[in-house]
Structure 1
Amino acid sequence: MEGLFWLVLAAIPLVLYLYVRSNDAKLCRLPPEAAAFAKERWSPRMMKSTYESILDSPTPFLRDELPPKTGRRYIVVGGAGFLGGWIVLHLLERGEDPRRIRVLDIRRPSRRDMTEGRVCNVDFVAVNVTDMDAVQAAFDKPWPSSEADYTDPNPALTVFHTAATIRFFERHPALQPLSDKVNVHGTQNVLDAARSAGADAFVYTSSGSISVRRSRFWLWPWEKEPKLFTQVINDDDAGVPTRHEHFFSNYAVSKRKAETLVRKADRSRSDKGEIRTGCIRPGNGVYGPGGDLLVGMYLTRRANQTWIGSILQSFIHVENCSLAHLCYEARLIDRTSGHPDIGGQAFCVADRGAPPTYGDIGRALTELTHGATTFGHLSPTAMLALAHVFEAYHLARHFLTAALPALARVIPALGGDVVFLQPSMFALTQVHLVFDDSRARLPPAQGGLGYRGCTSLEGVCKVVAEHVRAGGRGWTREIAGHRVDKLGNAGAGVARAENGVDTLVEKLERVERKVGLAN
């Protein structure tokens, strides 16, 4: 009997090893349902030819697709950030007067392209969107004089609201207020201030991730793949979860709440009549110059670890995302064309063409940097187990410090990038996500935005070209209070989690070397 006990005990590591290998194989599948959306993988020839065609492209490189100048006033909430900054740059690129643009953000922009040239004449107001009085004061602040005031002293006002706290790594309902404070209550403050200031157009940055449904990745031996392993997401509200536990994270819940506020405000009273509103739902993984936590960070990191190389998803270049916002604004302020009214709606947007896998992007970066950017592969099952450990610690600290605040001084918070490695991230990045933005691509006469944009391969090549042009310098960005330095966004955080694992691996390797020396 004792021999049987030791035999069973000895078999446990083998069983665990076999389970991990089997589960990894299932999680790393590219099922036919997903592969059907991208039958052609990026070849080295495609990468090279596209990169060469992008090298001489201007910045911004979508300038020919921007809607025409309007002469309106613009308030961009979150305009010092990644997406908001590009909206400001696109407004200037199409000829808007910088003195008629105001940026509201919690801190001044640090990006080089946001601190030189005409953008220096853009008005900036430091404001926390959770402070209702401060937001109202920022909207009510007198506008600087402009030459255009002589012909149009009281132009109409458009508001772009891109500010958010991206706590995609949390899913417990007790932590929901941490996301709601900025994303829901802050949005209500901005919306109220916009109406009080007489804005007649309001475009909100929602998230395509609000339609992503949570799955389970600990599979039984007889299961072939996770449920909801391939998800095709469109604008249909019927596809948005209605229960908290079905959303991938608290972030998605908060963005859905905020989106509902904005859409319900369409045609509500404004100080100068009525306000028209709409929402843009970007695909998973906004990337590009100016604070990219995905492609650009891979370039800056150079040696990367990943476990999602086979996962296929619809990405969106930041210029595409900005373009979609401007296209929606153009539709909201068009009162004479007779096109279908699309106020109060939400549109999914992604890069043009077939979606790539993370592996496609990794291979492109390796190819285009001549091997300088590399990718190692880790076990997704092992990383999932580690994510549960981090989540347990994160929750335990939250509840303990909530009961006894003094414990916050002795129980450290998860630091660095490991805070991003929690199970909710797997619900977003370990599934195949295809965003159907066909409605946004319809011409205005058919109820669309007339949105086009670039392909993912063109976008990735543009990021590499800009990275080389900048001498390999990255950017600084803050996600949910965690400062991210030397960067090349929900989806973007996977690179942060992978970076956290890189750091852990490096530390373990140093320990192994020390132990080897000691022995």
Structure 2
Amino acid sequence: MFWVVIGAVAFVALAWLLRINAALQSVPEGARQASPRRWTKQELRDTYERLKQKPLDFVRLLPPRLDRRYVVVGGSGLVGGDIVLQLLQRGESPESIRIVDFVPLNRRDMVGKAAGCDFVKADITSRSSVEAAFSKPWPESVARRALTVFHTAAAVRPQERSLLFYHRVSAVNRDGAVNVLEAARAAGADIFIATSSASVSIVPPTFWIWPWQSSPTNYLQIANERDFDAPIRPHSLFFSNYAFSKAEAERAVCNANEPTFRTGTIRPGNPIYGQKTDPVVGIILRMRDNVTFIPHIVQNYVNSRNAALAHLQFEAALAPPRGSPGTRTTPACAGRTFNVTDVGPPPSFADVYRAAETLSATPVRVTPRSPLALFLLAHAIETWCVLLARLPFLTARLGWIREPSGPIHMLQPSVFSVSCHTLVDDGLARRSVAEGGLGYRGGCTTMEGICEQILEWNREHGEEGEEGVENAVRGVEGTAAKAGLTAQGVAA
């Protein structure tokens, strides 16, 4: 009888786990309706060829030159770097732009174009370091101009949700943002815009479902700005420490708004891509051999240039008329946060994988794995990390006992929470300034943005350029997913 009971319990447990596995692979009807079509290889090739002949044009969407001074904190990074480039593209002088970052310029597209901009190395967790960056004298030609500050720096650690690890992100994302905010105000800035995240509004799904549920609770979410008008949620209702820290920073920035110091935040939604160093498309190209548990997940993406464009459109909405600062009524967008995303319907992650496998000149393979196995492993990794945090003497006395390092550390339950089906609503940002919006207009669809990113990747990695790329694009179907086609002369 004992073994019968044990067998019955084991059977029920196995059936329950298989039910959870099926739920993790489900696509709610709302996600299907929002993204009814999958990208085909032919339309990816056609888009790639079109962009090779006529690249995306974001300059046409840039607000007019404002002849102000600019401090871009995090200006060597993904969004910050694109803000710098767009400022230069619209005619701002290099001497009017100061990049404040912990790392020097290393983006290939910035090294030459932004060479004339000032660069100050700073640690935003240090108040004195930030103050020194802002107090550095400006060239006489621009010293009397009004000052705009874009704060884009962040510590992105989406995997941790225990408050034991909150200091790992709060020092940069919350305290660092406050340091920059206060230094900007002391330096006389009258516009301050920070980068937040659309993931701030995501509530953790419930994956441990009842047997009669077909998908996890909150598996499909609409990311909007409604949470901003309510008191900040408890920490447990954010998907991770990262999101909570961004929410706290967002409130600090927006609460500082006043007529002579206009502030606001942009929530890019949701994965940001656009450079080979990004953690979405870039990492697929860099890793080449990838494992995924989310090919079915539907999410809006945002190109880093669209995110940068939104920051500049926000600045244009906040900026007083030239020569008459403070004479205009403060616009309704001041002190607010706005979602922005790419033009068009959201893709699934499978669409992005197909683009990389089809178009990349370097071998790319994406192998799906059971979400349940990785989900259980994620809980084991998190439990181990929390145990070591609660019992630090284990690491202190036995140096070999420590948290896992490398990409496997990212595999924790919070990553599953943010990997739910997410539809980003940027309708508020698209309203006109008179209607309380930014007049936001994106410059590309996600397919266009990803195809152009892969095009740039191929040009950088192909010694013989586009001839090899075309061979990769036109290769036999199926081979790219296994070994890939390598353009002639591509460095290993």
Measured against the shorter chain, the TM-score band is 0.7 to 0.9
Match of 1:36 among 24, 33, 38: 33
CA distance in 2, matches of 1:380, 1:411: 27
One-letter code of the match for 2:435?
A: Q
Superposed, 1:241-256 pairs within 5 Å as: 242-256=233-247
For the structure 1 residues 124 and 339, does the alpha-carbon distance in structure 2 shift closer, same or farther, using more than 3 Å as the test?
A: closer
Q: Secondary structure at the match of 1:120?
A: coil
For the structure 1 residues 161 and 228, does the alpha-carbon distance in structure 2 shift closer, same or farther, using more than 3 Å as the test?
A: same
Question: 1:420-472: CA deviations, max 9, x gaps?
Answer: 1110111101x110010011112333322122221111111111111111116
The answer as to whether partners of 2:431 and 2:439 remain within 8 angstroms in 1 is yes
One-letter code of the match for 1:77?
A: V
Tell me the CA shift for residue 399 of structure 1.
2.2
Pairing 1:303–2:289 present: yes
| Residue in 2 that maps onto 1:211 | 201
One-letter code of the match for 1:129?
A: I
| Residue in 2 that maps onto 1:121 | 116
CA distance in 1, matches of 2:177, 2:238: 20
| Residue in 1 that maps onto 2:83 | 87
Match of 2:101 among 98, 105, 111: 105
The answer as to whether partners of 2:276 and 2:286 remain within 8 angstroms in 1 is no
Tell me the CA shift for residue 118 of structure 1.
3.4
CA distance in 1, matches of 2:313, 2:104: 26
CA distance in 2, matches of 1:233, 1:125: 35
Question: 1:251-273: CA deviations, max 9, x gaps?
Answer: 111111100000011117xxxxx
Tell me the CA shift for residue 340 of structure 1.
4.4
Structure 1 range deviating more: 176-185 or 200-209: 176-185
Q: Secondary structure at the match of 1:36?
A: helix
| Residue in 2 that maps onto 1:51 | 48
CA distance in 1, matches of 2:73, 2:61: 23
Superposed, 1:329-340 pairs within 5 Å as: 329-335=315-321, 340=331
Tell me the CA shift for residue 370 of structure 1.
7.9
For the structure 1 residues 433 and 276, does the alpha-carbon distance in structure 2 shift closer, same or farther, using more than 3 Å as the test?
A: same
Pairing 1:284–2:280 present: no
One-letter code of the match for 1:24?
A: N
Pairing 1:143–2:129 present: no
The answer as to whether partners of 1:339 and 1:444 remain within 8 angstroms in 2 is no
Pairing 1:315–2:304 present: no
Structure 1 range deviating more: 41-50 or 299-308: 41-50
Tell me the CA shift for residue 179 of structure 1.
1.7
Superposed, 1:152-231 pairs within 5 Å as: 153-231=143-221
Pairing 1:444–2:433 present: yes
Tell me the CA shift for residue 48 of structure 1.
2.2
Question: 1:138-190: CA deviations, max 9, x gaps?
Answer: 10101134xxx2xx651111000011111211111222222211111111110
Q: Secondary structure at the match of 2:291?
A: strand
| Residue in 1 that maps onto 2:473 | none
Tell me the CA shift for residue 122 of structure 1.
1.1
Tell me the CA shift for residue 364 of structure 1.
2.2
Tell me the CA shift for residue 38 of structure 1.
1.7
Structure 1 range deviating more: 73-82 or 445-454: 445-454
Tell me the CA shift for residue 348 of structure 1.
0.4
| Residue in 2 that maps onto 1:488 | none
| Residue in 2 that maps onto 1:346 | 337
Q: Secondary structure at the match of 1:448?
A: coil
Tell me the CA shift for residue 81 of structure 1.
1.5
The answer as to whether partners of 1:339 and 1:445 remain within 8 angstroms in 2 is no
One-letter code of the match for 1:43?
A: T
CA distance in 1, matches of 2:249, 2:143: 33
Pairing 1:257–2:253 present: no
The answer as to whether partners of 1:266 and 1:344 remain within 8 angstroms in 2 is yes
Q: Secondary structure at the match of 1:121?
A: coil
CA distance in 2, matches of 1:390, 1:318: 31
One-letter code of the match for 2:304?
A: V
Tell me the CA shift for residue 45 of structure 1.
3.1
| Residue in 2 that maps onto 1:435 | 424
| Residue in 2 that maps onto 1:499 | none
Superposed CA RMSD in Å reads: 2.3
Tell me the number of residue pairs that the alignment of Structure 1 and Structure 2 aligns. 456
CA distance in 2, matches of 1:365, 1:118: 28
Tell me the CA shift for residue 367 of structure 1.
2.4
For the structure 1 residues 267 and 337, does the alpha-carbon distance in structure 2 shift closer, same or farther, using more than 3 Å as the test?
A: closer
For the structure 1 residues 383 and 234, does the alpha-carbon distance in structure 2 shift closer, same or farther, using more than 3 Å as the test?
A: same
CA distance in 2, matches of 1:468, 1:181: 37
Q: Secondary structure at the match of 1:417?
A: helix
Identity %: 41
One-letter code of the match for 2:285?
A: L
Structure 1 range deviating more: 23-32 or 319-328: 23-32
Superposed, 1:377-416 pairs within 5 Å as: 377-401=368-392, 406-407=396-397, 409-416=399-406
One-letter code of the match for 2:118?
A: D
| Residue in 2 that maps onto 1:363 | 354
CA distance in 2, matches of 1:439, 1:34: 21
| Residue in 2 that maps onto 1:460 | 450
What is the TM-score normalised by the length of structure 1? 0.83
Q: Secondary structure at the match of 1:159?
A: strand
Structure 1, unmatched stretches of 5+, are 269-273, 474-519
The answer as to whether partners of 2:85 and 2:113 remain within 8 angstroms in 1 is no
Pairing 1:64–2:29 present: no
For the structure 1 residues 279 and 298, does the alpha-carbon distance in structure 2 shift closer, same or farther, using more than 3 Å as the test?
A: same
The answer as to whether partners of 1:316 and 1:350 remain within 8 angstroms in 2 is yes
Question: 1:394-438: CA deviations, max 9, x gaps?
Answer: 11222222x677347342332111111110111101x11001001
CA distance in 2, matches of 1:459, 1:55: 12
Tell me the CA shift for residue 345 of structure 1.
0.6
One-letter code of the match for 1:35?
A: R
The answer as to whether partners of 1:212 and 1:240 remain within 8 angstroms in 2 is no
CA distance in 2, matches of 1:239, 1:458: 36
Q: Secondary structure at the match of 2:233?
A: coil
One-letter code of the match for 1:395?
A: V
| Residue in 1 that maps onto 2:475 | none
Match of 2:125 among 130, 148, 161: 130
CA distance in 2, matches of 1:211, 1:322: 21
Q: Secondary structure at the match of 1:80?
A: coil
Q: Secondary structure at the match of 2:120?
A: strand
For the structure 1 residues 247 and 373, does the alpha-carbon distance in structure 2 shift closer, same or farther, using more than 3 Å as the test?
A: same
CA distance in 1, matches of 2:397, 2:40: 54
